[in-house]
Structure 1
């Protein structure tokens, strides 16, 4: 596997969002035996197709079964790594509950039956109220309060993007010592407490059984997933992007549907692919 990966040209360029990249095949031989790996998956734009609003996403037929089988075949080492809260993740995949890193690393659950652990502090109430007022700039801006972060979705008001970021910048300039970080995403501006991200969440997750000692592979699509892409080599892992060629990944998929097919195909061969 290591030889194959070394021979594979890494994709060090970023494709402009207006370009439509050709999908880079992801050979199953690059994925270790499922009993030796950890499967880490972003949700929106990776597993599930993006929708006009966060509440409109849905799980396509067959995906739930694929995820349950992968969870079983990896001995429980399958986790969602998302900006969504654990509560949202559970609502989407109900009645299934998977291990997860939620809220960009603010929440974690090692096993599906475990209680959530939240290492992140809640955002200051007054700061949150000032940021929430930005939603009044235009109809169509949707406000999502996650406790430890606040997201402004503008997929229904794309014209408001510049105004949103300008308003956030003004608040940050007024409060230069506020411990916050701005996460730009696909038609969303999220403001969270600094000090944690998806990468810090994944690092912590990988310290615990059943993830500990396994070789991870992570699939993500957005700018917020790049911190996880960056740490995969430290764990002898692999990263794959969706919809664009992100820097440092081993390959990429055109769309969430390609990701779903790939995950299903991992289960086609019950013998799996053993490490050399």
Structure 2
């Protein structure tokens, strides 16, 4: 395996362009753990969660990276592991799902719950009723969380958050957190995050001892951006320059192109610094 094929990209210091560069921050893929958010990062956003699709060539890229990292590639998503598997079927990837509520270390291994209880049924029922505020609000029950998607009803955003706030005020003892996202309001149990899930993942083989390389796009990914220095890792945002990241990509298509180049060992372009 050549030096050229084993390198990872370094963010450029130039803010306005993408510059081809030798990869130098982490010299070998065998030292790296590749961690990827899905929606808005690896895959383009869609009007509804069920409409996302895997572009041609991406599965080949992911499988190649999984092999070249000896299994140290994982999805890190708010989606459940079951939902992740449906998207990438028939492939099954290592993953942190449910915003850190569950984890799977390898494609053929059993999923581990990471001490996260599901949402209370009565609370979930009350939150689910918010979907009736307007046509176009889509309800997604993830077990550990409940998401209200309003991409098809953007005018309902304010009413959704006001109703969630009212329910929280009536139940001040409920251990829940509200996660604002891209046209989605998600409510989950407190006490776990994508970052807590990644910390647990990085304690287990084949991820332990490697330097993580995380790419994410949304507010919920910021907890992972924040812990990358703890592992001498790198973080990159998509669509915006998030605080504390090493660089960013403009679109998911740029992320896919970068990963494809990384998988084949070719010269690639760095994220914008």
**Pairwise same-fold verdict (TM > 0.5):** yes
Is 1:122 aligned to residue 109 of structure 2?
no
The residue that corresponds to 1:17 in the other structure is none
Is 1:234 aligned to residue 236 of structure 2?
no
Distance, in Å, in 1 between the alignment partners of 2:165 and 2:20 is 40
Secondary structure at the aligned position of 1:29 is classed as coil
The residue that corresponds to 2:253 in the other structure is 257
Secondary structure at the aligned position of 1:30 is classed as coil
Is 1:162 aligned to residue 162 of structure 2?
no
The residue that corresponds to 1:208 in the other structure is 204
1:17-62 deviation line (CA, Å, top 9, x unaligned): xxxxx56558533343111100000000000000000000000000
> Contact 2:261–2:267 (CA<8 Å) still a contact in 1?
no
Aligned residues: 258
Of the candidates 67, 82, 89, which is equivalent to residue 87 of structure 1? 82
Distance, in Å, in 2 between the alignment partners of 1:25 and 1:244 is 18
Query: How many angstroms does 1:245 deviate by?
Result: 0.3
Distance, in Å, in 2 between the alignment partners of 1:177 and 1:32 is 49
Of the candidates 40, 44, 56, which is equivalent to residue 61 of structure 1? 56
> Contact 2:12–2:18 (CA<8 Å) still a contact in 1?
no
Change (3 A) 1:10 1:168: farther
Please, which runs of 5 or more residues in structure 1 have no aligned partner?
Answer: 12-21
Of the candidates 24, 30, 33, which is equivalent to residue 35 of structure 1? 30
Please, which runs of 5 or more residues in structure 2 have no aligned partner?
Answer: 1-8, 269-273
The residue that corresponds to 1:105 in the other structure is 100
Q: TM-score, normalised by structure 1?
A: 0.89
Of the candidates 131, 140, 163, which is equivalent to residue 144 of structure 1? 140
> Contact 2:139–2:147 (CA<8 Å) still a contact in 1?
yes
Secondary structure at the aligned position of 2:192 is classed as coil
1:130-168 deviation line (CA, Å, top 9, x unaligned): 100000000000001111110000000000000000000
> Contact 1:25–1:253 (CA<8 Å) still a contact in 2?
no
Secondary structure at the aligned position of 1:267 is classed as helix
1:170-203 deviation line (CA, Å, top 9, x unaligned): 0011111100000000000000000000000000
> Contact 1:24–1:252 (CA<8 Å) still a contact in 2?
no
Change (3 A) 1:86 1:10: farther
> Contact 1:148–1:193 (CA<8 Å) still a contact in 2?
yes
> Contact 1:220–1:241 (CA<8 Å) still a contact in 2?
yes
> Contact 1:45–1:242 (CA<8 Å) still a contact in 2?
yes
> Contact 2:138–2:148 (CA<8 Å) still a contact in 1?
yes
The residue that corresponds to 1:135 in the other structure is 131
The residue that corresponds to 1:50 in the other structure is 45
Of the candidates 183, 190, 193, which is equivalent to residue 187 of structure 1? 183
> Once superposed, what is the RMSD of the aligned Cα atoms?
2.1
